[in-house]
């Protein structure tokens, strides 16, 4: 447990977090490994766990009928996968697939939501860390939408 706590607190997403919060978080965490091609989760499935990547790469994919899936983003070491565990009805909005050997911490969403409800300082700390990630991703998605490499823009 002690090593899991040390490793977890060493993750970039939790850098500098109050060790007291770290102790609360580690109770919801487990160590996971994904082989290339293995899904962390599928669209529509229950968002009951989210992931902090330690090493490897994860592709976020959208599927449409009769077309190959589209990778909308890839995430690597130090990054967080999944936000749907925060928002009812807690269902994933896309697939997440490991594209290389991937090691990650899984954080049990029900466990973490309960701890955040019970301790709003922890809840606020998590939100403070999550929100910038979500805003950065939204901005990146907007840049991708601009299709800047198209013919009229260089």
Partner 1 sequence: MSARLAPSPADPMRPAPWRVRAVRRETADVATLALEPLEGGVPGFAPGQFNMIYAFGIGEVPVSLSGDPADPTRFVHTVRAVGAASAAIVAAAPGSVLGLRGPFGSAWPVDAAEGHDLLIVAGGLGLAPLRPAIYQVLAASERFGRIAVLYGGRGPAELLFRDELAAWGARADVTVAITVDHADPSWHGHVGVVPALIEHVGFDPANTVALLCGPEVMLRFTATTLRAAGVAAGRIFLSMERNMKCAIGLCGHCQFGADFVCKDGPVLPYDRIAARLAVREI
Of the candidates 74, 90, 106, 129, which one interacts with partner 1 according to CB under 8 A?
A: 74
Site for ligand FAD in 92-151 (CB under 6 A): 151
**Residue 24: both structure tokens together:** 């609360």
For residue 146, the Cα-to-chain-centroid distance in whole angstroms is 24
Instruction: Choose the binding region for partner 1 from 3-11, 39-47, 124-132, 139-147 (rule: CB under 8 A).
Output: 139-147
Closest CB to ligand FAD among residues 131, 148: 148
Rounded to whole angstroms, the Cα distance separating 38 from 99 reads 8
Does 64 bind partner 1 (CB under 8 A)? Our answer is: no
Does 152 bind ligand FAD (CB under 6 A)? Our answer is: yes
Rounded to whole angstroms, the Cα distance separating 142 from 127 reads 22
Of the candidates 16, 68, 88, 132, which one interacts with partner 1 according to CB under 8 A?
A: 68
Does 131 bind partner 1 (CB under 8 A)? Our answer is: no
Give the three-class secondary structure for 97: strand
Closest CA to 122 of 132, 112, 131, 135: 112
Does 44 bind partner 1 (CB under 8 A)? Our answer is: no
């Amino acid at each position: 447990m002690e090593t899991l706590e040390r490793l977890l607190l060493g993750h970039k997403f939790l850098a500098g977090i109050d060790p007291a919060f770290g102790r609360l978080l580690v109770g919801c965490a487990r160590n996971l490994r994904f082989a290339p091609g293995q899904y962390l989760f599928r669209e529509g499935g229950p968002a009951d766990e989210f992931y902090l990547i330690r090493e490897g790469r994860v592709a976020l994919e959208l599927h449409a009928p009769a077309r190959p899936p589209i990778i909308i983003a890839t995430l690597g070491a130090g990054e967080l996968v999944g936000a749907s565990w925060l928002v009812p009805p807690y269902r994933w909005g896309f697939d997440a697939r490991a594209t290389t050997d991937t090691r990650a911490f899984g954080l049990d969403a029900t466990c973490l939501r309960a701890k955040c409800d019970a301790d709003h300082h922890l809840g606020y700390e998590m939100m403070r860390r999550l929100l910038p990630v979500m805003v950065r991703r939204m901005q990146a998605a907007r840049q991708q939408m601009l299709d800047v490499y198209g013919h009229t823009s260089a």
